[in-house]
Amino acid sequence: MRVTFLGTGTSVGVPVLTCDCPVCGSSDERNRRLRAGLLLDWTNGDGESSRVLVDTTTDLRQQALRVGLDRVDGVLYTHHHADHVLGLDELRIFNFVHRVSIPLYGRSETMDAIRHTFAYAFDANARGVPRIDIHVTDGPFDVRGVRVIPVPVQHHRLTISAYRIGNFAYITDCNAIPESSAAMLRGVEILVIDALRRTPHPAHFSLAQALSEIERLEAGTAYLTHLSHEFEHGELEKELPEGVHVAYDGLVLEADEATV
């Protein structure tokens, strides 16, 4: 399974509108961070390929253009905050081209919020709206032959989904991982984890907290995401311990969806 980082930025993105700090003004592409999301793609034994998004970010259209996305076979939602869902309308074009509804997977609160925010998409008489099918998930499920394990984590008062797929795990927007969930993630080979900024935040891990979670989860290699403009890519990369890296938009990783 190939993992492509479509976005690695916090909710306002980087550069931040109106900001004239050195990171927002940087010419290093790795300091340009769209809203946080992933593209997962894999090909099964019969040569059938699948493309699945993690979240439909505010920047989805731009992200899809960058990677030449030509199909969407499903979306795994982490939670319903604006930066993770507002690109949902962009799914329409894939409906028009492929003439199938796109399955969305997520927790019941996430799906309720999507129904509310995108009410027009659930009007059976409406035309030209996204065609989507809601799948409420409260345990492991399969997407086109691949086992997906939602892992409940805390995002301030909200419980949201991290995801584990084979030897890969994605934890965005998180400030605490209960022990029962840590047990589902422990020993994962490739871990992506939220590290918003240096100082503590009620809804996100700080850099120090993310690093201690990476140790606690005994991850093989880890990548930091949902980054604010406090972090200059090259400087942060230099100060990280071995095996921990700064993710950036366009980064591609190879994971194994079948090995746990």
DSSP label of 142: E
Binding positions for Zn ion, 33-72, rule CB under 5 A: none
Q: Which residues of 171-207 are buried (b: 16+ CB within 10 A; e: fewer)?
A: bbbbbebeeebeebbeebbbbbbbbbbeeebebbbbb
CB nearer to Zn ion: give 21 or 252.
21
Which of these segments, 10-18, 59-67, 87-95, 185-193, binds Zn ion (CB under 5 A)? 10-18
Q: Which of 12, 24, 134, 240 binds Zn ion (CB under 5 A)?
A: 24
CB nearer to Zn ion: give 41 or 83.
83
Q: What is the DSSP string of 40-93?
A: EEEE-TTS-EEEEEE---TTHHHHHHHHT-----EEE-S---HHHHTTGGGGHH
CB of 180 to Zn ion, least distance (A): 21
Element (H, E) at 38: strand 37-43
Give the position of tokens 């993770």.
Answer: 84
CB nearer to Zn ion: give 8 or 137.
8
Q: Which of 33, 107, 229, 233 binds Zn ion (CB under 5 A)?
A: 229
Q: Is 19 in the site for Zn ion (CB under 5 A)?
A: yes
Q: Which of 30, 32, 80, 81 binds Zn ion (CB under 5 A)?
A: 81
Pairing between β-strand 221-225 and β-strand 190-194 as defined by DSSP bridges? parallel
Q: How many residues bind Zn ion (CB under 5 A)?
A: 9
Question: Tokens representing 2?
Answer: 């190939």
Q: Is 16 in the site for Zn ion (CB under 5 A)?
A: yes
Binding positions for Zn ion, 156-185, rule CB under 5 A: 173
Instruction: Give the interface with Zn ion as residue ranges (CB under 5 A).
Output: 11, 16, 19, 21, 24, 81, 83, 173, 229
